Amino acid sequence: MTSHGDHTAALLRRCSGGDEAAYGQLFELIYADLHRRARRLGKGGGATLSTTALVHEAFLSLAGSPLALNDKAHFFRLAARAMRRVLIDASRRRSARKRGDGEGHVTLDTSLAVPGQDLDVIALDQALDRLAAAEPRMAQVVELHFYAGLEFVAIAEMLALSERTVARDWRAARALLHDSLAGAGQAAHD
């Protein structure tokens, strides 16, 4: 437990010193942890669907010990990136699978509509990159809130902003991204 935490803390410090290798190592560590947790969640831990924050669980397990605010923020930014990656990788694998399958399956019973199921994670990723180019702070709020599952108040603390500003950034980004996704979806159908 402590060795985990110490190891993570050391990696985080090396990251802030600009150590690329440490960054890569920590990213892989978080990625593997999130992947495992998400898989377990998908395997039928449905009762916890609304209550978990996987990134937070990962934080508790990998870092655990108290960290400096700066390191903590760094961890969650990395974790949000890792979650983005988990989603994209899974989505790409699925597309590959579908192509291999040849035929799509007919769904007879739509009662199992999982919230957000129709989200195109790859299009979202690209739209978020474009948004980051113009509004880096807004994009960061999206990463921490949507991907890392942090509350506005925690994000405000990490980014040294007011909670109100974070909430407004989120609202605007939410509208922009959905609008962009809807447009992309339409374009794809045309």
Q: Three-class SS of residue 5?
A: helix
Taking the complex as a whole, the smallest distance from the CB of residue 143 to another protein amounts, in Å, to: 10
134 binds another protein (CB under 8 A): yes
Residue 146 interacts with another protein (CB under 8 A): yes or no:
yes
Three-state SS letters, 30-92? HHHHHHHHHHHHHCCCHHHCCCCCHHHHHHHHHCCCCCCHHHHHHHHHHHHHHHHHHHHHHHH
Instruction: Write the CA distances from 18 to 12, 22, 29, 48, integer angstroms.
Output: 10, 9, 18, 37
Residue 176's CB is within 10 A of a number of other CB atoms, namely 18
Binding segment for another protein (CB under 8 A), chosen from 12-20, 21-29, 64-72, 138-146, is 138-146
Separation of alpha carbons 76 and 155, rounded Å: 10
**Quick one: which of 18, 44, 102, 104 contacts another protein (CB under 8 A)?**
44
Q: Map the footprint of another protein across residues 82-101, applying CB under 8 A.
A: 83-84, 86-87, 90-91, 93-94, 97
Give the single-character DSSP code of 114: -
* Residue 75: φ, ψ to 5°: -60, -50
Q: Which is nearer to another protein, 83 or 156 (CB)?
A: 83
- Which of 29, 131, 144, 158: binder of another protein (CB under 8 A)? 131
- Please choose, from the candidates 58, 53, 10, the residue with its C-alpha nearest in 3D space to the C-alpha of residue 32: 58
> Among residues 28 and 178, whose Cβ is nearest to another protein?
178
130, 136, 153, 162: which one binds another protein (CB under 8 A): 130
Which residues form the interface with another protein (CB under 8 A)? Answer: 34-35, 37-39, 41-47, 49, 52-55, 83-84, 86-87, 90-91, 93-94, 97, 105-109, 111-112, 114-119, 121, 124, 127, 130-131, 133-135, 138, 142, 146-147, 149, 168, 171-172, 174-183
